[in-house]
Structure 1
Amino acid sequence: MTLVSLMTSSDLSNTQLAPLDRAKQLAATLLSERSEASGALVARQLHEVLGALDAAGRHGFQRYLATEFQPDRAALRGAAERYLADGTAEAAAALARAADPPRQELLRRINMALGGTGALIAMRSEIASCLRGEPVLKLLDADLKHLFASWFNRGFLELRRIDWQTPAAVLEKLIAYEAVHEIKGWDDLRRRLAPDRRCFAFFHPALPGEPLIFVEVALVQGLATAMPPLLSRETDEDTARAQAARADTAIFYSISNCQDGLRGISFGNLLIKQVVEELKAEFPQLTRFSTLSPIPGFRRWLGQRLAKGGDPDAALLPQLESDGWWNDPTQSEKLRAPLLRLCARYLTRQPSIRIDPVARFHLGNGARLERINWLGDSSPRGIQESFGIMVNYLYDRESIEDNHKAFVRGTIVRSPDVDALLQA
Structure 2
Amino acid sequence: MNSAIKLPSMHRKSRSILQLFKQLVGKRITNASCDPLGPPDWELLGLLLHETASENGSEAKSRANVGRILDFYRRCSVEDRKRFMSLLNESFDVDEKGVRKSIDAYLNSSDSRSRSATVGSLLKSLESPRCRILRQFNLLPQGVQELVDMRAELLRVQENGDLAGMDQDMLRLFTGWFDSGFLELKSIGWNSPASLLEKLIRYEAVHEITSWGDLRNRVDSDRRCYAFFHARMPDEPLIFVEVALVRGIAENVQALLDENSPTLDPHLADTAIFYSISNAQDGLRGVSMGEFLIKRVVEQLLHEFSNLKTFSTLSPVPGFSRWLNRVLELPDQLPNNLREFFLNNKADIPAAIRDQLGSTASNTAALTSQLKDWLKSEVSYFLTKEKKNGAPVDPVAKFHFSNGASLGQINWLADNSKAGLRQSYGLMVNYFYKPDEIDLNCQVYAESGELPVSSEVGKLVTRAQSRRGGSGGTKNKTEK
Say which SS state the counterpart of residue 211 (structure 1) adopts. Answer: coil
Amino acid at match of 2:359: D
Which position in structure 2 is the counterpart of 1:249? Answer: 271
C-alpha displacement at 1:413, in angstroms?
Answer: 0.7
C-alpha displacement at 1:347, in angstroms?
Answer: 1.6
Q: Is the 8 A contact 2:404 2:439 kept in 1?
A: yes
The 5-angstrom pairing of residues 390-409 of structure 1 reads 390-408=428-446, 409=448
1:125-155 CA-to-partner distances (Å, cap 9, x unmatched) read 112134334x341000000000000111112
Q: Is the 8 A contact 1:203 1:211 kept in 2?
A: yes
Q: Distance in 1 between matches of 2:106 and 2:462?
A: 57
Q: Distance in 2 between matches of 1:335 and 1:311?
A: 13
Change (3 A) 1:332 1:52: same
Structure 1 residue 168 and structure 2 residue 207: aligned? no
Which position in structure 2 is the counterpart of 1:51? Answer: 74
Q: Distance in 1 between matches of 2:371 and 2:82?
A: 50
The 5-angstrom pairing of residues 329-340 of structure 1 reads 329=360, 330=364, 332-340=368-376
C-alpha displacement at 1:274, in angstroms?
Answer: 0.2
5+ residue gaps in structure 2? 1-7, 11-16, 464-480
Q: Is the 8 A contact 2:383 2:392 kept in 1?
A: no
Q: Distance in 2 between matches of 1:266 and 1:130?
A: 23
Which position in structure 2 is the counterpart of 1:118? Answer: 145
1:322-364 CA-to-partner distances (Å, cap 9, x unmatched) read 2532221425333111111111111221651652110111011
Which position in structure 1 is the counterpart of 2:384? Answer: 348
Structure 1 residue 219 and structure 2 residue 241: aligned? no
C-alpha displacement at 1:417, in angstroms?
Answer: 1.5
Q: Distance in 1 between matches of 2:187 and 2:58?
A: 41
Change (3 A) 1:13 1:422: closer
Say which SS state the counterpart of residue 263 (structure 2) adopts. Answer: helix
Say which SS state the counterpart of residue 140 (structure 2) adopts. Answer: coil
Cα RMSD (Å): 2.1
Which position in structure 2 is the counterpart of 1:132? Answer: 159
Say which SS state the counterpart of residue 224 (structure 2) adopts. Answer: strand
Q: Distance in 2 between matches of 1:93 and 1:28?
A: 23
Structure 1 residue 2 and structure 2 residue 28: aligned? no
C-alpha displacement at 1:57, in angstroms?
Answer: 1.5
Q: Is the 8 A contact 2:409 2:430 kept in 1?
A: yes
Change (3 A) 1:93 1:218: same
C-alpha displacement at 1:118, in angstroms?
Answer: 1.5
C-alpha displacement at 1:59, in angstroms?
Answer: 1.0
Structure 1 residue 419 and structure 2 residue 458: aligned? yes
Structure 1 residue 63 and structure 2 residue 86: aligned? yes
The 5-angstrom pairing of residues 24-423 of structure 1 reads 24-32=46-54, 33-86=56-109, 88-133=115-160, 135-235=161-261, 240-242=263-265, 244-313=266-335, 315=339, 318=346, 320-322=350-352, 324-329=355-360, 330=364, 332-349=368-385, 351=387, 352=390, 354-408=392-446, 409-423=448-462
Total equivalences in the alignment: 419
- TM-score (ref. length: structure 2): 0.82
Q: Is the 8 A contact 2:175 2:287 kept in 1?
A: yes
Say which SS state the counterpart of residue 240 (structure 1) adopts. Answer: coil
Change (3 A) 1:42 1:286: same
C-alpha displacement at 1:309, in angstroms?
Answer: 1.5
Amino acid at match of 2:32: L
Amino acid at match of 2:64: L
1:155-176 CA-to-partner distances (Å, cap 9, x unmatched) read 2111000000110001000100
Deviates more, 1:3-12 or 1:158-167: 3-12
Q: Distance in 2 between matches of 1:410 and 1:42?
A: 47
Q: Distance in 2 between matches of 1:62 and 1:274?
A: 36
Change (3 A) 1:20 1:332: farther
C-alpha displacement at 1:49, in angstroms?
Answer: 2.3
Q: Distance in 1 between matches of 2:267 and 2:39?
A: 66
Q: Distance in 1 between matches of 2:358 and 2:330?
A: 28
Q: Distance in 1 between matches of 2:232 and 2:398?
A: 30
Amino acid at match of 1:196: D
Change (3 A) 1:17 1:356: closer
Q: Is the 8 A contact 1:406 1:413 kept in 2?
A: no
1:254-285 CA-to-partner distances (Å, cap 9, x unmatched) read 00001111000011100000000000011100
C-alpha displacement at 1:423, in angstroms?
Answer: 4.2
Q: Distance in 2 between matches of 1:73 and 1:353?
A: 33
Say which SS state the counterpart of residue 449 (structure 2) adopts. Answer: coil
C-alpha displacement at 1:225, in angstroms?
Answer: 0.6
**Which of the two has higher C-alpha Rg?**
2
Q: Distance in 2 between matches of 1:14 and 1:292?
A: 51
C-alpha displacement at 1:407, in angstroms?
Answer: 2.4
Change (3 A) 1:275 1:354: closer
C-alpha displacement at 1:397, in angstroms?
Answer: 0.8
Which position in structure 1 is the counterpart of 2:469? Answer: none
Change (3 A) 1:30 1:84: same
Q: Distance in 2 between matches of 1:268 and 1:89?
A: 36
Q: Distance in 1 between matches of 2:39 and 2:156?
A: 29
